[in-house]
Structure 1
Amino acid sequence: MPKYSTIFRKFLVSYLIILIIPSIAGYVSYRTSISVTQSISIENSVTQLQRSQEILERRMVEVEGFTRQLALNPDLNKLMNERKQGDEVNVYGIWSMVKQVTPFSQTNDFLQNYFIYLNNYDVIFTQGSAYFRPEHYYQNFRYPDLTVEEWKKEVLGQTHRSEIMPLRSYMSNSKQTSVITYMQSLPLDSFSGSSPATVVVIINEENISNLLAGLEDRYGGWAHISDAQGNTIGVRGISETDAKKLSLDTELDKAKTSQFYNDDLVITIHSDKNGWTYRAGVPRQVLMENANQIKYITWLVTGIAILLGLLAGLLLSYRNSAPINRLLGVMKEHFGKDGIAERNEYDFLQGNISNMITSNRQLELELKRQLPLVRDGFLKRLIAGEFHTTEEIAAAAAQADMRFSSDGGYVGILRINGYSGMDSVEILNELAAARLILKQALTDAVNELPMTDLGSDRIVMIWTVQQEEAGGLAWRQQISETLEKLAQVAYSEYKISVTAAFGDSYPAIMDVSHSYEQAKQMMEYAEFSSKNSIIWFSDSRLETATYYYPLDIEQRLISTIRAGDPDEAKRMLLSVMEKNTENQQLSPEMKQQLVGELKGTLLKLLDQKAFMESELLHTLKNQMIGIQASDALSAIQDEMIEIVNALCGVINSKKNNAHIQMVEDIKQFIAEAYGDSELTLYRIAEKVERPEKYISQLFKEVTDVNVSDYLEMIRIEQASLLLRTDACTVDEIAARVGYNSSHSFRRAFKRVMGVAPSSYRQSINI
């Protein structure tokens, strides 16, 4: 859990909201699927019941058709219209009718049990037999709840028009069952009283129940058929008592086709043909079996998705909040903690970052405003020889946003004539305007020409040229032509007269100050000789009779050796020797003085603290004293180069010792504070009082390891020691060695050690 849990919670809540939205959509889709599945199941159940209704009504129509065929049978009409004479019975006619009606039972299972009663003969005949006394028939086929007289009266003695007796108990050859009875008087137009004949069809309840078996077998439900008066016609899967009780329950809406009653779906349809009511019940769990499968799959998938989404939300919340928390930590260290109490974290960050951006813009504007001053200061330091190494010059040039196209060139001084010794306000203003005009003209003529003011009437110019062409006549000619045109324009338009003096060409940027000193000498010579033209130091070289070793070169040589740069010190020493041997021959006296000056320079360095503590002090001192002016200059040069290298080696050794000590201090601080999860490169730099980039490069150079890698190595080493015991869990060890989470600790441990922490602990215990 991040240190600032508020941001973590805000991220997590936002991810949860995003997760809830599709979950709601999924729930709506799920409810729609359940509703559609339920509707389809109800529709299938209604269709099943309607199919059973159609089959039953078709069978009943066949039964009615059977009675109509009998009504049209001429033999039966003849038989039932005959008058009985005494005890005589038309036996032949009766047996003929028995043979004619027998095949009907083979076409419809509803016609398997029926009889025809002839009133005139008081005879009952069925398929395959005839009973000349109805009592004999009633002995085998009867209703237990009716006596013979009641049976004769209700069934045989009345006129019936497609009349159906509701379900009731029935004995058939001592076998009890339940039947419904269909009764039709013949002829069909019989109205009242006794009719000549009566057709009675006894339909077994099982034949009707079998038509409803699909609802019970498929759904495990029940079915009930009742006539218009509510009497039971057929029942399956439920007792007749429970079925009647359900029909009389006021909570059941008789007008609805489908409705849920208790735990069943009750389907009710009404027949328009005979007024019968067909009612079926399907258990809810069976009906919703498909819907339940959808529900289980939906909840399973939704649950897994929510769980994975929650885990992803936790991970993303931590990953996104951790950088903000670290940024908050840095902000609190620099800007204080009071702002968060009054505002939330985002307002705190927004306010401080906004202030930083505003301050940065103000700083940029201020730097741009001061950039000309920075450039002017850089150029003044450069021509004064205040830089000790080329790296220092490069850094200062980058800070001043200045670039030199090459390392070589010329330094020149441009003087405005006619104002020597004048220092009134009006004169100074006039000189300032003249300098501005001349610098603008030079800028138009030469792009990016470095210039700086020297006093009120002089401008220093640094002309950069290619090193192989430095000192060549082509560049001198080009510079002279440019300045001559400038002088002509300045005089013709502004009445400004100028004089230019140039030093010798410098081969490296470190020699700019030397070329500048030469230009100064030539300007002094021009003032002394009253020359108003362009003069070059190289043109006056042969006129001097002394040795070349100016004071600025000596100071620069001392600074270079103190900086520990042997290559630059060697180059400067060779340059001095070259200046004194090129185009001139030193006299023995001048040679002795030059060698004495060089030895004096080297002896001055030995008075520095860095050399006083060196073991080479006496050796180097004796080596310097042993140099004789009578030796050849080449031998003297080699001897001095050897001494210069030794001096620079002493300096670099001191530097390396200081660097090593600083790295040791950094290691010591890391060893003490590795358990702090807030330990950063900034904190380490603050501890050793050096810039972050400096200590990062220094640590890498000395140890060949990055600071961050070294910190991770120390943490993992300490963690491996703790894992050797069972005193702490992996999560506790992660917190103790400075990791914000056990997950990041496990990844780091496996990256360094090659195995997971738990595996490492197991291998140790084995």
Structure 2
Amino acid sequence: MRFLVPYVTFLILLSVCLAVSYDRTQQIVKEEIKKTNLLALEQAKRTMEIRMSELNNTMWEMLSLASVMRAQYINEPFDGGNSIRFLKASQDLKGMSIQNEFILDYFLLFKRSQLAVNRDKIYTFQELNGLYFRVNGYDYKQWHSLLIESFYQEQYLPAMAITLSDYVHSAIPFVHTLGRKEDSLGSLVILIDNNKVTELLSGLRLSEDSIAYIVNRQGQTISCVTGNHFECSPSASERKLDTTGLILSSTNSSVLGWTFVAVLPKEIVAKQSSDITHSIFQMLLGSLIVGIAAAVWFAYRSSYPLARLVKSLTENGDAQLAARGSTYSWIEETVSRLFERQADIERLHKAQLPLIQNAFSERLLKGGFSSEAEIRTSMAHAGIAMESLSYLVLAVHFPGYGDEANPRILAEIETKKMIVKEALAACWGDKIRIHDAEIYHLAIIYRCSPEEINNKRAIEQRAVQLIAGIYRRSEESVPVLITAGSCCSELLQLPQSYREAIQAFRHQEWEEYCSFIWYDECKMSRTLMFYPQGMESQLFNFTLIGDEERCEGLLRYLYEENVRKRKLSLAMKQQFLNELNGTYIKILAEQNREPAEGEGCIQLATIKEAETYFERLIGKYKELCHLINLDKRSHHSELRDKLIAFIEEHAFDADLSVTKVASVFDISAAYFSQFFKEQTGKNFSFYLEEIRMGRATELLVNRKLSIHEVAVLSGYNSSNTFIRAFKRRFDMTPSEYRQIQTNACM
């Protein structure tokens, strides 16, 4: 009889499949197609979010160039030295490092001067439209109205045919208007290669009559592709919006405000499911007659242990599936789903964790965070632990290569970086975090021990000995220069330490192998003003969040560095103060506030006036921070009440999440999480779980409800998730809680 068991098991499983209708088979195939397409859409969405975030950073980097800001206000481009200023803007654009493969080209269109500037040339508007950059089907007047006269705020236009240097491209224009709506100064136009976008969409399982497309919040089709992997016009996707009889997969990007959609005809499901159903029916009819007697005997023999197994699993699974009679299929599906979900989570986590950690280090060193709390939240998300009383940034440089960067040199540098990374990891372990910042240097975030805080020579000695050991073990020479910034007590100050380490390398001559330079000990040039772009971004962020203390601290640090340490000339001091004043005016424009009279260019007659003007600037920045805080308090109170009301109303919806709440209120998920924690003192997940557990304890008293029904009524799709959450909060399972309550009532 033991030889009969495998066959009878197979027979029962096939008999269960016989009970599954043709529609059920179609639905399985349909869900599989939708799942596959949804995963592909999610991958395309993540790629587009990363690339468009890089594009947004590139835009702000262009607009923050001093030469570009000055060029916006020039009316007569050929008077005096104005032509040189436009040439300087073009050279600055050429000097930028843009590695986004999605970007075809970009142009700065200055309305007042009627000139267009990119990294290669300078054109008048008519020359640009006639010789280099045309929108197919648009004459010059329409071209001018589309790109210059219209007002845009970081807006993506639908894909269109564009001619660049007599070559036709399919491009998605990204347009941002310079200045305000009522006083436009021109626009920045970045052309995105639509072929790269359609390549992402082509990864879907599209049949001949299928279509995939991207639409924005206004319902405009940004890009689309057909099942033949040919680009289609926007009107083609609009005709597909009637999804009756079609399979629709879609996902929304809260970052871009886009919806990624794939639409397939229902006939593809019928074709695939009919083959499966036909094969199943043939096998079942042949095996049913032969094995019916053995099946009845086996069913009787195994009914008792099977009933116990089903009872145990329905406590933690989907009781509805078990009730349909598809018990074996349900068990197999439940276990398979758990394994698949675990494998997917582990694979995604393993694949994305290095990227998340690298992005965190890059953002931290470049000053992309505005508060210590934001840094801690991002660290927890990236799985990074860097607790210490003090930090500093070491920069490991590989000098001697000049400006050339061919494949041979890049490969050589990468080899040397690997040698140094291995040595650093072996020596310092988790005391450091290594970040591959740029081609010719590594950035090291170093956690100082209590002994090293007051003895920086110990760090220097250990670093020099480490690199010396590399020379002894390596077959080839690995010349290295190490520079170090100042120690800091907060992670938010690390960008300053990093800039100091880089600045020490640029201003100090390298004398020998294994040399180590501290920023505060190197001989700095006293003729140049110190106001890097990262510092301006930090000043911008501190002011916009109303942080008066950090805003004033950063201003005084810049004043100390420029006026007292560098001992700038009167003209350079005047330029430095005008740069700070220009940042203040830009923040006013960002806040839609009008500058007061007399906010123009600062003129210094004597050196003593510099300090007077500087104190006035600090007063203006602090006053602006105060006004911003007043606006925020009023807005925060109203938003907090609306959020809590919405969450309590929809707490028992299974799909309620951070992303959904943030989307309803048109804010980012990260901002919502941070804001909710600040206003309520609780994480969103903890607050939601608290509400759901309150209802669950009330429902468990009713013994007529199964554990699965209690889970669904409490807002959980899965009984497993509900049980884990219940045990985490009450240190017992729902069944144990119900038993205790029953005994108490008796």
Please give the range of the TM-score, normalised by the shorter of the 2 chains: 0.3 to 0.5
* Greater relative contact order (CA < 8 Å, ≥ 6 in sequence): 2
Q: Which has the larger radius of gyration?
A: 1
Return the TM-score normalized by structure 2.
0.42
Return the TM-score normalized by structure 1.
0.41
